[in-house]
Amino acid sequence: MRQDTRLSRLLHVLLHMAETDAPLTSERIAAMLGSNPVVVRRIMAGLREGGFVAAERGHGGGWRLARPLEAMTLLDVYRSLDEPELFAFGLSNPAPDCLVERAVNGVLGAEVAAARESLLARFADIRLSDVRQDVALGRDRP
């Protein structure tokens, strides 16, 4: 299954936005991402609604950070995307009559829930300023 790359792209964009005070247009962001302006506006919409970035229209407009990177976590960015599904696998039938299938759902569902909780807890702990620090250190594999 093709993977959702929106989280990865948003992090990339936000870190670039922190490099300058001037607003970045969707056009320029799209060039950075190898994408196009409409896709950029689409994935940025949630961040705007969440107050993490601000967009201005017209001449000299574009996107600007509305908060410092210290005040944004990976979880914030994930949530701004409307918390899309994290896992590529899931239950075949969420509410079966079959007792066997209910037991399978119980085990698998519990593991997924635990993995999700633990991953989101990590996301909540990682600030974008931490990632910026990795850029400065030239880290691409921590």
Partner DNA sequence: AATCAAGTTACCTAAGAAGTTACGAATGAA
Partner DNA sequence: TTCATTCGTAACTTCTTAGGTAACTTGATT
Q: Which does 55 bind (CB under 5 to 8 A by kind): a second copy, DNA, none?
A: DNA
* Residues contacting residue 102 through CB under 8 Å, at least 6 positions apart: 96
List the interface residues with DNA, window 73-132 (CB under 7 A): 84, 92
Establish if 109 lies at the interface with a second copy (CB under 8 A). Answer: yes
Do the beta carbons of residue 63 and residue 15 sit within 8 Å? no
CA neighbor of 65 nearest in space, from 136, 128, 125, 140 = 128
Establish if 60 lies at the interface with DNA (CB under 7 A). Answer: yes
- Cα–Cα dist 70/67, whole Å: 8
The least distance separating a second copy from the CB of residue 64, rounded to whole angstroms, comes to 17
Establish if 30 lies at the interface with a second copy (CB under 8 A). Answer: no
Q: Which does 36 bind (CB under 5 to 8 A by kind): DNA, a second copy, none?
A: DNA
* The one segment of 10-18, 21-29, 47-55, 65-73 that binds a second copy by CB under 8 A: 10-18
- Cα–Cα dist 16/12, whole Å: 7
CA neighbor of 13 nearest in space, from 42, 121, 122 = 42
For DNA, the binding residues (CB under 7 A) are: 1-2, 4-6, 9, 23-27, 34-39, 41-45, 48, 55-63, 84, 92
